[in-house]
Amino acid sequence: MRRHGFGRWGGPWLAVAVVLPIGMPAVSAEPSRDHFDSVVIDAGHGGEDHGARGPRGLVEKDLVLDVCNRLAERLDAAGLRVTLTRGSDEFVPLEVRTSVANDARADLFVSIHANSAATDKPRGIETYFVSLESSDDMARQVAARENQALTRDSAATTRNDPLMALLGDMIATEHVIESSEFAKLVQGELADLGTGSTRGVKQAPFVVLMGVQMPASLIEIGFLSNPNEEKALRRGRYRDAIVEAVARAILAFGKRYDARRGVRADLSALADEP
């Protein structure tokens, strides 16, 4: 598993990735284009960018870092090569997250976030894949909020903004079908979790997904603005249940990915899946 740290960076395009070893056996598999063996896990926010905050004080950046670390361990144990865009509480610009993913030449990019709404009613898990057009108003608001980490200027996230149009050109259209397929797998696995409402697969212009040259999706694992969901998300067992569901979806996606490319599913993790 690789963790990237950015203790010092001289602006968004000058960032240098530092690979920090952790106490886990290295996986020696080389990056591969045609065999599913590599995943990038992206914990939203970090450092000065706190993300959403629940009424009882649970902060999105801390929650998603813990969930991503649990997910990385689960996938590492399953034999996949895992790259984390951040392994600690640090600010990592969205475009650096994209670069880390592309440098890793991974087969899948999964970004984990937690939702927030203006009232305490909205609840449930939703999974996104990238599109310039949002599937509904709430999806548009979610993308606008998550994109603020790019420039600290939410005005830069509207459909008609020149920056947005430029970024839109970067959407890897060849990966959109696989991204939507993965989003459906995730949402299917997560359907039994949450506080009873599945919000489905949605589309929105998430900057962090736009320049990624691989299938990619962003999961909002629940509403911190909903007191019941904040309470659930505090529990380690609930976080593990989310991790297990996402891991199942990733391994199922891997099987399909290899089958589509005519690769025999000989990865032990995939063969061992029930």
Nearest to Zn ion of 206, 238 (CB atom): 206
CB-nearest residue to Zn ion: 113
Quote the least distance from Cβ 4 to Zn ion, whole Å: 19
How are strands ordered across the β-sheet holding 216-223?
18-20, 2-5, 81-84, 38-43, 108-115, 216-223, 125-130, 198-204
The helix/strand/coil state of 79 is: coil
184 membership: H or E segment, kind and range: helix 176-190
Nearest to Zn ion of 51, 205 (CB atom): 51
Q: In the structure encoding, which two tokens stand for residue 146, read together?
A: 């998550």
Quote the least distance from Cβ 113 to Zn ion, whole Å: 3
Nearest to Zn ion of 2, 61 (CB atom): 61
Quote the least distance from Cβ 142 to Zn ion, whole Å: 8
Question: Exposed/middle/buried for 261, CB within 10 Å: 0-12, 13-18, 19+?
Answer: exposed
Q: Which residues contact 22 (CB under 8 A, 6 or more apart)?
A: 1, 3, 87
Reading phi first (left if > 0) and then psi (alpha if -120 to 50, else beta), residue 194 is in left
Q: Which residues contact 173 (CB under 8 A, 6 or more apart)?
A: none
Quote the least distance from Cβ 248 to Zn ion, whole Å: 23
Tell me, what amino acid is at 21? P
Quote the least distance from Cβ 93 to Zn ion, whole Å: 14
* Geometric angle at alpha carbon 78, from 107 and 71, rounded to 5°: 75
| CA dihedral of residues 33, 219, 92, 142 (deg, nearest 10) | 130
**CB–CB of 122/225 below 8 Å?**
yes
Nearest to Zn ion of 78, 183 (CB atom): 183
Interface residue list for Zn ion (CB under 5 A): 44, 51, 113, 146
Nearest to Zn ion of 49, 273 (CB atom): 49
Quote the least distance from Cβ 89 to Zn ion, whole Å: 14
Nearest to Zn ion of 44, 254 (CB atom): 44
CA 111 to CA 98: how far, in whole Å?
11
Nearest to Zn ion of 44, 215 (CB atom): 44
Q: Which residues contact 140 (CB under 8 A, 6 or more apart)?
A: 134, 204
Nearest to Zn ion of 107, 126 (CB atom): 126
Quote the least distance from Cβ 210 to Zn ion, whole Å: 16
Quote the least distance from Cβ 146 to Zn ion, whole Å: 5
